[in-house]
Structure 1
Amino acid sequence: MVVQEREQAFARRTITTADLAEWPDARLDGGGRMEDTRVFIGSSTIESQPLRTKRLVFTDPQDPSLACAHSAVSADGKLLAASFGSNDVLVWRLSDGLLVQRLGHDHGHTDRIFALAFSPVDPCTLVSGSKDTTALVWDTRRARVLQRLEGHRGPVSSIAYAPDGALIATGSHGDTSVKLWAPALGACLHTFDVGAGMYTLAFSADNTRLAVALGRSGLLYDLRTHARVATLQHASTEVLYWALDSAAGADADARVATAPGLQNPGEVKLWSAHTGAPLRTIAHPPHGLSMPVAFAPDGSEVLAACNAECTALAFDARTGALRRTFRAAKRVYRVAYSPDGAYVAFGAADGDVEVHDAASGVFLGRFDGREGSRELWEVQFLADGQSLLARFKYGPLLLYNVQDVLRIR
């Protein structure tokens, strides 16, 4: 079994000379640990039965009771970075859970970490944003600050890397601005005054647009001219949740999807990521659709929840036609596709995570995440398409292996 193989590898975990050459500050204490959990397997969510399995748990060894506030995974899926409400960033090697670095101490941030993002082109380069109003670009191997990005007048609460790694965007709730940086130089290239606190930042796949989610609306900026291209919002004033099609590349049909929150379901709208023009409205009467919203990795489908039915619905991203219905055991609170599009994971508010076959909609298994009554904040697949990371409002980071479910089935 995959679980037994992984347990044996963790039991034999050591720090070799080669490890120290790559990670001089690696340490055995504080590594990820295996713990017992349950996975429910069956032909449907109703008929599933519990079986024992393992999951990998990551906490701050200085205070394991602290909840993970922010996390990021390197583009190659080999490193996990996390902050636990302090001004330090912990970095683990995911192959064996080894704690390879702790960033901070005397030369890091002076206040809590609010955002983390790995470079998409260099898996050992990480940027962190803090309440201290700065963002730091780190060489995680040597725990060295490469660039100190200064200029915000409030906490740096949002960070995004451009797909080619040439730009970093930082946003601050405090000064309601978004700044563009050249990370190689540490230079601020432009400041956008967005006039409100932003929730998320995202670059288009072709590096020409920046999307800024403000809550009840969103902004698109041209990264060549720095002009605002469009303001996106629904007719009502509900909070909007965003997804950006990351598969389009230089395709002029790159899209943004917006959906209302759980309390006010309605329509999903698709927009051009280049012009901001409305492309299509997707409705699901009588109950309506809501967050979470996500594009399939190839951009062919857009998925949204219908929580009145405990379902998630996949629609053709071009025509808006319903392609598939996923039936969940509980209301869908978070969603993530595996990078190859083979699986889709649905997270419930209480921490349970279901995995379905993305092509057929078939239920594969449900990981039990409810111990401690945690509230699930984020779920994501790693680059291998098999590892599933869950982050909670209260509690540690949990890493599940979908291969365990497939072998048991």
Structure 2
Amino acid sequence: MDNGNGEIDLPEADGRRVLYDMNDDDCRYTRWGERADRLWDAYQDAIAAGTVLRRTRTHALLDGSIELVGYDDPVTGGGRFAVVTACDPGSDYRVVDHTERGPAEAAYEQEVYANLDDELPYQSCDVFEVRVDRRSRPPAGVRVLPSGTVVATDDLEAYDDLYGLPLRTRWPEAAAADLAPAAVRGMAADPRPWGPAEVRVDEVTPAAWGRADDALRPNALALLGLPDGRQLLASAHDDAAHVWSVGDGQGVSTASGHSEWVLSVALAALGDGRVVLGTGGKDGLVRVWSARDAAALQEIEAHRGPVNSLAWALPPGRLPWLVTGGDDASVRLWDVETGRRAGEFPVGVPGVHLVWSVATAVLSDHHVCVAAAVPGDDHDVVHVWDATAGTRLHEFALERAGHAFDMRAMPRVAVAALADRSFRVAAVGRPGVRIWDGHTGEVVRTLPLPEDDGREGGGDGGGGGGDVALAVLPGLRVAVAATGRRHTVVWDAESGAELTRVAHAADGPVVAVELLTAYDGGLLLVTGRQGDAPARVRRLDVRW
């Protein structure tokens, strides 16, 4: 082929031509002489107009790709197959074309393997054996700032001094796990049929919470155990969110900043010992605060419509995640440091399929499990994802007793990981409480809500769920707490044995419930509804 410059542009013996290589002075581009730029522009246009047959996306920090493209040669008009390698387009652009697709396919896969980097894994790849990281987190020791600037973690202070780092706080990585990642599996044993030998229940509600205060009627609760044995409670109210010390009932801080009701709260202890509070509002905003003094740390426009639920996730060695669910039929994952969306799981039609509850757990492989409960027309749905891999694990149907839409019977979900590398998913709704083995998807236990089983004030027209919580007990057992309209019940999920039952005097708004395993092995049950200010606390000591 004459390239118009008096030179014959013959391919290599195997039909291959290195058309352009930023790091090779012997490529065709350098042989084309004065017409090099014109010819190369023609080839670029032809390749851009071609058909992408295979593609690998490089790490998000590099924003590049490796592609196999079928195109028509702009000089001869014949069909060619180009392998375009641009893992980091600013420094390693290379185009090699072939006469046949077979050799081009082999060359494409060879390029994919040659550019593998464990620190900068591909975002996607059609070579089956190649590991990908769809979220493409920055490698260890690197931060991406809200502006998009990439800075070494060790250089953050210097960058801040020079340019003013637009972060209100330093977000530490979660503590490294004691155990190496291991495959998630199902339960190590079948549910055990025997219940506890004895359960002692003590009312330990702080005296300061003994008075009724309508201003402190909770919309939601969140309970957190600290390494020193103390417990903190967060409560969401119509005008603000509060953080309390459970031991003495004293208020720690008050966070006020939403333009409408605070609908959801979540607490997390960071790797450096600080505690943060996340709040979701009817205004569609998520705000993050210091639990100690309510200093504002982050604001995120999370959803178009109310943020009904939110939960923290602290994967080992990573920055915290915040997971939210809203009326726009989506579950969203947020990089809390930058305020950017890190992932999304749509669940239906906005305004129709409301995400009413989300829950998270870090599994034995260090992946983050996210579950969401969504009401439907004739049944509710519980979605379960591996959020780290971006894949769906399960979709459970939660049948309804009747079809009427009832705000007092919206489904809620909870997740707990166990030491045997299994995990549980629990949901409460119209028919009662259901617990699944999160790995296999098999139902572990179905439990009736108090109003459904005919005891103590039943017969109110079909029962209905309020809230649900899980806590891990010794011996690979799980306690589940759930609320009906007039009662809260705690069960041992393995045997189905009832551990305690709490009657609520008022038939007002649905109860919020939290369950926590204390440092000494006891259980703390926290419930809140109309008349509580903000909650009642009970301690359960269970002997087997």
Structure 1 residue 154: deviation in Å? 2.0
Indicate which of 356, 370, 383 corresponds to 1:199: 356
Contact 1:387–1:399 (Cα < 8 Å) also in 2? no
Q: 1:401 to 1:343 in 2, by over 3 A?
A: farther
Contact 2:361–2:368 (Cα < 8 Å) also in 1? yes
Higher helix share: 2
Which residue number corresponds to residue 149 of structure 1?
300
- Residue 371 of structure 2 corresponds to residue 211 of structure 1: yes
Indicate which of 263, 272, 280 corresponds to 1:129: 280
Indicate which of 162, 167, 170 corresponds to 2:324: 170
Match for 1:172: what amino acid? G
Could you list the per-position Cα deviations for residues 271-327 of structure 1 after superposition, in whole angstroms to 9, with x for gaps in the alignment?
645xxxx6435xxxxxxxxxxxxxxxxxxx64522768839xxxxxxxxxxxxxxxx
Structure 1 residue 111: deviation in Å? 2.0
Q: 1:220 to 1:92 in 2, by over 3 A?
A: closer
Q: SS of the residue aligned with 2:537?
A: strand
- Computing the radius of gyration over CA atoms, which structure comes out larger, 1 or 2? 2
Structure 1 residue 260: deviation in Å? 5.8
Distance in 2 between residues matched to 1:362 and 1:224, nearest whole Å: 35
Structure 1 residue 181: deviation in Å? 0.9
Distance in 2 between residues matched to 1:380 and 1:111, nearest whole Å: 24
Q: SS of the residue aligned with 2:206?
A: strand
Contact 1:217–1:240 (Cα < 8 Å) also in 2? no
Which residue number corresponds to residue 304 of structure 1?
447
Match for 2:473: what amino acid? D
Contact 1:67–1:84 (Cα < 8 Å) also in 2? yes
Structure 1 residue 149: deviation in Å? 1.6
Q: SS of the residue aligned with 2:448?
A: strand
Distance in 2 between residues matched to 1:348 and 1:303, nearest whole Å: 14
Could you list the per-position Cα deviations for residues 373-408 of structure 1 after superposition, in whole angstroms to 9, with x for gaps in the alignment?
4455233334423532111256433323437x99xx
Contact 1:240–1:258 (Cα < 8 Å) also in 2? no
Q: 1:343 to 1:153 in 2, by over 3 A?
A: closer
Structure 1 residue 368: deviation in Å? 5.2
Could you list the per-position Cα deviations for residues 318-351 of structure 1 after superposition, in whole angstroms to 9, with x for gaps in the alignment?
xxxxxxxxxx756696665654369958666464
When the two chains are superposed, the root-mean-square deviation of aligned CA atoms in Å is: 4.4
Structure 1 residue 259: deviation in Å? 6.7
Distance in 1 between residues matched to 2:471 and 2:486, nearest whole Å: 19
Match for 1:81: what amino acid? A
Could you list the per-position Cα deviations for residues 226-265 of structure 1 after superposition, in whole angstroms to 9, with x for gaps in the alignment?
34455433688979956555124793x5454567623xx7
Structure 1 residue 202: deviation in Å? 2.1
Indicate which of 258, 275, 294 corresponds to 1:109: 258
Distance in 2 between residues matched to 1:254 and 1:345, nearest whole Å: 13
Could you list the per-position Cα deviations for residues 212-237 of structure 1 after superposition, in whole angstroms to 9, with x for gaps in the alignment?
22122233334244344554336889
Within a 5 Å distance, the mapping from 1:6-405 to structure 2 comes to 55-56=205-206, 64=214, 67-76=217-226, 78-86=231-239, 88-104=240-256, 108-121=257-270, 124-164=275-315, 166-173=320-327, 175-195=328-348, 196-206=353-363, 207-215=367-375, 216-233=380-397, 241=411, 243=413, 245-248=415-418, 251=421, 253-257=422-426, 261-262=430-431, 270=436, 272-273=438-439, 279-280=441-442, 302=445, 304-305=447-448, 310=453, 339-340=472-473, 349=484, 351-353=486-488, 369-370=504-505, 372-374=506-508, 376-384=510-518, 385-393=522-530, 395-402=532-539
Match for 2:370: what amino acid? L
Q: 1:71 to 1:346 in 2, by over 3 A?
A: closer
Please, what TM-score do these two structures have when normalized by structure 2?
0.46
Higher strand share: 1
Match for 1:73: what amino acid? L
Distance in 2 between residues matched to 1:171 and 1:130, nearest whole Å: 11
Please, what TM-score do these two structures have when normalized by structure 1?
0.59
Task: In structure 1, list runs of 5 or more residues that go unmatched.
Answer: 1-51, 282-300, 312-327
Structure 1 residue 85: deviation in Å? 1.1
Contact 1:57–1:399 (Cα < 8 Å) also in 2? no
Which residue number corresponds to residue 68 of structure 2?
none
Q: 1:149 to 1:249 in 2, by over 3 A?
A: farther
Distance in 2 between residues matched to 1:225 and 1:55, nearest whole Å: 42
Sequence identity percentage: 22
Match for 2:340: what amino acid? A
Could you list the per-position Cα deviations for residues 58-83 of structure 1 after superposition, in whole angstroms to 9, with x for gaps in the alignment?
77999645521122122325211212
Q: 1:154 to 1:365 in 2, by over 3 A?
A: closer
Q: SS of the residue aligned with 1:402?
A: strand
Contact 1:57–1:396 (Cα < 8 Å) also in 2? no
Distance in 2 between residues matched to 1:150 and 1:309, nearest whole Å: 39
Match for 1:94: what amino acid? V
Q: 1:229 to 1:167 in 2, by over 3 A?
A: same
Match for 2:533: what amino acid? P
Which residue number corresponds to residue 67 of structure 2?
none
Structure 1 residue 352: deviation in Å? 4.7
When the two structures are aligned, how many residues end up with a matched partner?
306
Contact 1:75–1:123 (Cα < 8 Å) also in 2? no
